[in-house]
Structures are given as C-alpha cells and as structure tokens.
C-alpha cells in the first residue's frame, strides 16, 4: 500500500498525539497523579505514530474482516514494539518501558495485555481514525499544499534530535560520575541516585526531558549500567 508523504505525516502526527493523550490519562489514573509521558518537547509519542503507519499499511488487504484486522494489527504492532525497544536499548543502552508488572510478558518489552490493546487500537485505527484522516488530509492538502506537512516534519525531527542529544549527554556524564565514584570504593546507590536527581534538575533544560529522566531513566539505568552495585 503506497501512502503519499503528506498522508503519512498526518497519520503520524495525529496518532502520536493521541498516543500521548492515552498514556497521559492511563498512567496518571494508575499513579493517581499527573504523569507527563514521553521524551519529546511536544505532546507526541513517536512509537504510536510509526505504529499507526505500520498497522494501516499491514492491514489494507484484510479490512473486510475485523477479526483479521485485529489479529494482523496485534501481530505487526507487537513485532514493531519489540523491534523499537531493541533498537532504543542498543542506541541508548537503557530500557524505555517495562511490562514486568504484567504476568504474561517477554523480557518486560512486550506483553499479552498491551498486545491486545494494540489489536483493539488497530480496529479503531482502520474503521474510525483512517476514514476521518483521509477526509482531513484531502481538505488540508487541497487548501494549503505540502507546506504544513513539511513544517511539522522539520519540527518533529528537530525535537527528536534535541531530546536524544540531551539524554545521551546526560547518560555520558552520569556514567563518568559513576566510574569516578567507584574508584573511591563501593558505590552507594541511594546517595548516587540523589546526586543524579540534583544534576538532572540543573543539566536538563526542558520539563519533558527532565521528567523523563527523573521518573523513568534512573530506575532502568541501574540494570543497564554494568558493574552497578546495589546497597546491601
């Protein structure tokens, strides 16, 4: 299935924003407090944008069967989620999410319950979101041409690069600090994490990045860093 550039951009933008809203609400209810999601400055979760593109492309030949859409969408989205987690871990040397709380999961990266959610999301994407986006895309493109799509693409790519660079810089700095601390003896995990929290506040300029690193990264980095010793 071939999708024009402007159509792919619109699908990505809307789906990434809807994914951000979904996770914001779901996680905030679960934690009983406002829990901003994602790493980007803007209200977008790219995995949902790319996931929507994968689902729409993979299911275009089976749209006559809701069951087939559910199963194919669930399968390809789960595979995409696993691949994304693997690539992110290879690049940033850390896990970006964990499904360890779910009974049926694989390495905490994918799990049955989220995969079922992907299946139902596939139904919504194909039978509700996709028809609406086709109409909206036609109206936007006819009226404004390709300009707004290019502007959004430049902004989201810049956001991704900016956020990734800051996380990478902080990881390099925190690893350097850890090594210097270990030279003086056994690393005190609690003291080290408190130190990182203070450094995060001063070294990460934007709330979205600071929140991501403070709320997500430290717990995951303990396992990602080789030689990190836990306090007995």
Residues 102 and 184 in one domain: no
Using CA atoms, how far apart are residues 90 and 26, in angstroms rounded to an integer? 28
What contacts 23, CB < 8 A, 6 or more positions away?
37, 38, 45
Cα dihedral across residues 178, 179, 183, 186: positive or negative: positive
Residues 29 and 52 in one domain: yes
- Domain of residue 192: give its range: 161-224
Among residues 151, 176, 200, which one ends one of the domains? 151
Choose between 105 and 168: higher pLDDT. 105
Question: What is the reported pTM?
Answer: 0.73
* Among the ranges given (62-71, 92-101, 218-227), the one the predictor scored with the smallest mean pLDDT: 218-227
Residues 145 and 200 in one domain: no
Average pLDDT, the chain: 79
Residue 102 located in a structural domain: yes
Using CA atoms, how far apart are residues 2 and 57, in angstroms rounded to an integer? 8
Residues 176 and 133 in one domain: no
Residues 175 and 127 in one domain: no
Residues 101 and 193 in one domain: no
User: Where does the chain show beta strands of DSSP type E?
Assistant: 105-106, 110-111
Residues 178 and 112 in one domain: no
Reported confidence tier of residue 87, pLDDT bands at 50, 70, 90: confident
Residue 231 located in a structural domain: no
Residue 212 located in a structural domain: yes
Reported confidence tier of residue 154, pLDDT bands at 50, 70, 90: very high
Choose between 82 and 223: higher pLDDT. 82
Residue 229 located in a structural domain: no
Residues 68 and 177 in one domain: no
pLDDT over 90 for what percent of the chain?
Answer: 40
Cβ distance 163 to 41 under 8 Å?
yes
Using CA atoms, how far apart are residues 3 and 19, in angstroms rounded to an integer? 21
pLDDT at 85: 87
Q: How many domains does the chain have?
A: 2
Using CA atoms, how far apart are residues 1 and 30, in angstroms rounded to an integer? 38
Q: Tell me the pLDDT tens digit for each residue of 179-225.
A: 766 665 555 555 655 666 565 555 555 545 555 554 444 444 444 44
Among residues 151, 175, 190, which one ends one of the domains? 151
């Amino acid at each position: 299935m071939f999708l024009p550039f402007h159509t792919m951009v619109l699908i990505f933008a809307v789906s990434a924003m809807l994914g951000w809203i979904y996770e914001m609400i779901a996680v905030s209810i679960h934690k009983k407090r406002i829990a901003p999601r994602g790493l980007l400055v803007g209200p977008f979760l790219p995995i949902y944008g790319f996931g929507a593109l994968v689902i729409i492309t993979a299911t275009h030949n089976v749209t006559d069967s809701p069951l087939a859409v559910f199963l194919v969408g669930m399968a390809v989205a789960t595979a995409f989620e696993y691949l994304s987690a693997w690539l992110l871990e290879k690049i940033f040397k850390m896990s970006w999410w964990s499904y360890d709380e779910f009974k049926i999961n694989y390495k905490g990266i994918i799990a049955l319950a989220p995969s079922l959610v992907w299946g139902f999301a596939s139904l919504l994407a194909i039978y509700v979101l996709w028809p609406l986006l086709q109409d909206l895309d036609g109206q936007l493109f006819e009226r404004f041409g390709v300009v707004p799509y290019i502007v959004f693409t430049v902004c989201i790519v810049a956001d991704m690069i900016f956020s990734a660079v800051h996380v990478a810089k902080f990881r390099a700095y925190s690893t350097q600090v850890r090594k210097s601390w270990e030279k003086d003896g056994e690393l005190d995990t609690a003291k080290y994490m408190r130190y990182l929290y203070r450094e995060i506040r001063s070294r990460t300029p934007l709330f979205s990045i600071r929140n991501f690193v403070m709320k997500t990264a430290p717990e995951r980095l303990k396992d990602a860093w080789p030689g990190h010793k836990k306090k007995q």
